[in-house]
Amino acid sequence: MMTLAYDTSLPTVNSIKTVAVLERMDVVVRELQVIERRTGLEKTFAVGELVLRHFFDENPQRWRERKRNKNHSIRRLAEQAGCPFRKSSLNDAVAIYVLAEELPCVRTPEHLNTLLGLFFLLYRSSPSALYF
């Protein structure tokens, strides 16, 4: 019986994909570190836009669909060494960014605070009723 020898020095498709994902994560983490120096809504909008662009192709519907099925991209991003934000902060930033894009009138802090206050009040009374 003849045995075949495989060249293990060549990268596999899975290893190439893994390296590409890790490189993408590193790029996003570095951008988040720069954004972290900003303040207020400017920081929130920048984080939300960055995450939506890099992981959801700037498509809020893709973010909404994945949110219900546990978003692994945001979780993995938050777990990266050097990432200055927690998973919940990243997810909240995307939610606020999407909301502001769909309702431009909420781009001021006062309007956003009012709307988020209503959202959390409704969420406490019926969490399953509120899906972005």
Q: Is 76 contained in some domain? A: yes
Q: Is 30 contained in some domain? A: yes
**Token pair 């590193």: residue:** 26
Q: Is 77 contained in some domain? A: yes
Handedness of CA 86, 88, 94, 100 (dihedral sign): negative
Residues 5, 24: Cα–Cα separation, whole Å:
33
User: In this predicted model, what pLDDT tens digit does every residue of 102-114 receive, in sequence order?
Assistant: 877 766 777 777 7
DSSP string, 58-79: T-HHHHHHHHHT--HHHHHHHH
Q: Is 73 contained in some domain? A: yes
Q: Is 1 contained in some domain? A: no
Contact residues for 20 (Cβ-Cβ < 8 A; gap 6+): none
pLDDT band with cut points at 50, 70 and 90 for residue 16? low
Q: Looking at the predicted structure, is the pLDDT value of residue 85 above 70? A: yes
According to DSSP, residue 129 is labeled: G
Q: Is 118 contained in some domain? A: no
Name the H helices within 36-130: 40-56, 60-68, 72-79, 87-102, 109-125
Q: Is 131 contained in some domain? A: no
Q: How many domains does the chain have?
A: 1
pLDDT band with cut points at 50, 70 and 90 for residue 132? very low
Q: Is 9 contained in some domain? A: no
Q: Which domain holds residue 90?
A: 16-105
Residues 132, 73: Cα–Cα separation, whole Å:
18
User: Residue 79 in contact with residue 31, Cβ under 8 Å?
Assistant: no
What tokens were used for 73?
């991209």
Cα R_g (the chain), whole angstroms = 19
**Which helix (H) or strand (E) segment is 57 a member of?**
none
Residue 3: per-residue pLDDT? 54
